[in-house]
Structure 1
Amino acid sequence: MVSATMYAAVDWADRWLDCAVIARDGTRLGFRRVIYKNTSDPVAEVQDLLRSCNRTRWRTIPIGTEDPDGLVFQAMEDAGLTVVGIEPMLAARARKATTMGLTKSDRADAYLLADMLRTGGDRFRPVPRSSPEARAVRVLARAQAAAVKRRSRALHQLRAVLVTYYPAAVTAWPRLTLRHAQARAVLAAAPTPARAAALSRTELAGILRDAGRWRTVDDEAERLSLHFRRLALRTHPMVEAAKGVEMRAVLDTLDHACDAAVQLSEQVAEAFGAHADALVLQSFPGIGPLLGARILGEIGDAPGRFATARNLCAYAGVVPVVWASGLAQRTSHRRFANETLRDAIWQAAFCSLTKSPGAAAFYRRRREGGESHNGALRNLAARLLRALHHCLATHRLYDETLAFRDIHPAESRVG
């Protein structure tokens, strides 16, 4: 809970910072605009403003911001200042409903954020300080997830282009996707149906070998040669050539996205493996280096960040919200959560069904009790998170018998 005699906030822009300080009763105590080009240490300027407002306890003044991951605010944390994150959506709502009589400006936003800290109570808490190792894992894990999304987007774009003029390419690899290295190599060499039909079996075999195939190369080249030479609907040659140029541009994007995803995956695994909590996370069923890195990056390793396991489950969005008013009570899905962590723990729960007898029995019991697939999987994710909270707090590896000790041993056999 944020409780202090005065509150500060910083609204940042590309060229300056606007820092405002107010008292507990809402009185404005100070304001300063820090222009980047005029100083080499903007954090020192903010510290000077806080010191002028409270010379003895200026380090304890909470500083609100909408971007706690920004460079300036990370430097503030490293300098020992208390940084408090404020959701941009909450700030936008408060900006519309404010009665402070201020017009929209950076200065007004700084005072607004400081006033939100003053009146927010338990809604706003200081940003936990994770170690540099955990922050590096978080950056790499998010970059790898973004690269996977770009790869999927480029793959869909490639398929959409091929369907319009080159349907044989879409159906040429029934067991592989178009993002496979062999498919991309053949498409690069044969961007149009005419060029694909003109490729000889020897040329196709060479392309497949260069793409990394080393088994049944000649058989695969024979199959592709026959597939591309089948009679099919074709468009005008000029249009087909133009479509080939368009497809190559999309294919280049896909190649870059695939390479970036692979490289980032290797870097994520390396950074995650060097962290002290990696062994604990990877001891859980269904959690490998990539999922473990995403979970660690979002949870962090700040001591005492989550006081209870339920706090962690609420942060991940796997426990419901209970709304009560008088005698009425309603339970609903928790929408406000860390989406990245929620996706990672749901995927881990799904993978654990084939890795953990206890998880499979727990899921089966929930399903037999009438729960939907999503409901049973959400409860399984919550169970795994509670076990993870305990293991990280005590530095112990995952123990199947403790995590699912309420499951009868006879039920723990995967059917």
Structure 2
Amino acid sequence: MTAINQFTAHIGLDWADKKHDVCVQFKNGERVFHVIKHTPEALDTWLKELHKQVKGKIAIALELKKGPVVYALQKYPFITVFPIHALSLARYRQTFWPSGAKDDLQDAELALELMLRYPQKIKAIEPDNADIRLLQQLVEQRRQLVEDKRRFVNRLINTLKQYYPQPLEWFSHRDSPLFCDLITRWPSLQQLQRARSDTVRRFMNAKGGPAVAHTEQRVASIANAIPLTTDTRVIEANALMATALASQIKLVNDIIRTYNERIEALFDTMPDAELFKSLPGMGPGMGPRMLAALGDNRNRFSSAEEIQNYTGIAPVTERSGQKSWVHWRWQCAKFVRQTFVEWAAKTVQSSYWAKLYYQGQREKGKSHQSAIRALAFKWIRIIYRCWKTRTYYDEAKYLLALKDRNSPLLKE
């Protein structure tokens, strides 16, 4: 843990897109306020002049763990960043201003005071190594692209339903190159039916693969299809939109493929790659995400419970008087939570004990999502142990351990 008294200056920073309000406290207790433009040049000039003045390390508290301001600050070796949770700062502000009054310079000073008053609670950011930081950004950006593709696919489906629903019956994968190429080449049923059957047949078979088995059925369906509408204005407008969306899906697919190649190449160079590959359900997409979630700093988490809380898998219990309420953890690393939940769902099909545990949860009346979260909670204990001790996961060994403990999961 970084000692707060080792710094020659402490700063609270309230960030924004255009400018940053800062409150600087020097060793003698004097406080000064500044407004700094959000440009690399302005930040560089201010920080270097301040460092020259105080001649030592500088601590900066702000409401971010990542982002352009954090990245800009982290390039200076004399700067240590202390992230303040936005909700913590809001509640702290409300303590003194119940009316809800808010001011940027005031928030900068409050961030500074939180850092100084609660050094045991607010931990400095300890950057992972360069490869881990790159992997963390790549896997999260890839996920964003996947979500973009999903939105484009849903919009394309809705557009086709307006005037040309037949392709949705002919194809189950609406993001496939064949489907998108069909829409791009023949964006309406009328255009498709004007094409020769042999031309359509060659088009359907050109990419090969399992789709070839459905070619004749699709060709016959095309010939017998009846247009949903003959309104040329409706067809023209929606055909243009369908073509645009199909092109976007193809482009995003290509970009995702580029990300997959870079992520896989980077992941394979990392010392912990084989450890994560040993876990069930850790395919080429999930393994890098899990490694990015935990990193390679074994001192980052001191217990499995810390990971359960960090990921948001552990529920929150609130008690007041005779009442007790257990609810979802609202504040957490949501992408990391998503990673653990999605991985846990995959292990139901790839791990014997995980499948038994999931079935047991469902038999108790738990919903699918609740059962998966409970399974993820249990998996975190295992993955933490493997990660902390650098030990590969062995399903047979774990099953023997369950048997030795007379686990109710394993029924004779």
Normalised TM-score (structure 2) = 0.85
Q: Does 1:254 align with 2:249?
A: yes
Asked if 2 retains the 8 angstrom alpha-carbon contact of 1:66 and 1:87, the reply is: yes
C-alpha change, 1:43 and 1:282, in structure 2 (3 Å) is farther
Matched residues in 1 for 2:100 and 2:331: separation?
Answer: 29
Q: SS state of the match for residue 23, structure 2?
A: strand
Q: CA RMSD in A?
A: 3.3
Query: Among the aligned pairs, what percent are the same residue?
Result: 22
The match for 2:74 is: 77
Matched residues in 2 for 1:47 and 1:393: separation?
Answer: 39
Q: SS state of the match for residue 350, structure 2?
A: coil
| Unaligned stretches of 5+ residues in structure 2 | none
Matched residues in 1 for 2:99 and 2:355: separation?
Answer: 58
The match for 2:174 is: 178
- Range with bigger deviation, 241-250 or 128-137: 241-250
Asked if 1 retains the 8 angstrom alpha-carbon contact of 2:313 and 2:376, the reply is: yes
1:214-270 superposed Cα distances (whole Å, 9 cap, x missing partner): 5674x6443223222323432312431232112111222222222222221222222
1:10-409 to 2 correspondences below 5 Å: 10-14=13-17, 16-22=19-25, 29-35=31-37, 40=41, 42-43=43-44, 45-46=46-47, 48-49=49-50, 52=53, 55=55, 58-59=56-57, 61-78=58-75, 79-92=77-90, 94=92, 98-99=96-97, 106-120=104-118, 122-173=120-171, 176-210=172-206, 212-213=207-208, 217=212, 220-229=214-223, 230-325=225-320, 328-369=323-364, 371-401=366-396, 403=398, 405-407=401-403
Matched residues in 1 for 2:353 and 2:214: separation?
Answer: 43
Matched residues in 2 for 1:207 and 1:194: separation?
Answer: 17
Matched residues in 2 for 1:239 and 1:102: separation?
Answer: 51
1:366-415 superposed Cα distances (whole Å, 9 cap, x missing partner): 444554433332222122111111111111111225545235599659x9
Matched residues in 1 for 2:211 and 2:34: separation?
Answer: 71
- Range with bigger deviation, 338-347 or 91-100: 91-100
Asked if 1 retains the 8 angstrom alpha-carbon contact of 2:289 and 2:339, the reply is: yes
Q: SS state of the match for residue 22, structure 1?
A: strand
C-alpha change, 1:216 and 1:325, in structure 2 (3 Å) is closer
- Range with bigger deviation, 294-303 or 401-410: 401-410
Q: SS state of the match for residue 393, structure 2?
A: coil
Paired residues, number: 404
- Range with bigger deviation, 156-165 or 279-288: 279-288
Runs of 4+ in structure 1 displaced over 6 angstroms? 100-103
Normalised TM-score (structure 1) = 0.85
| Unaligned stretches of 5+ residues in structure 1 | none
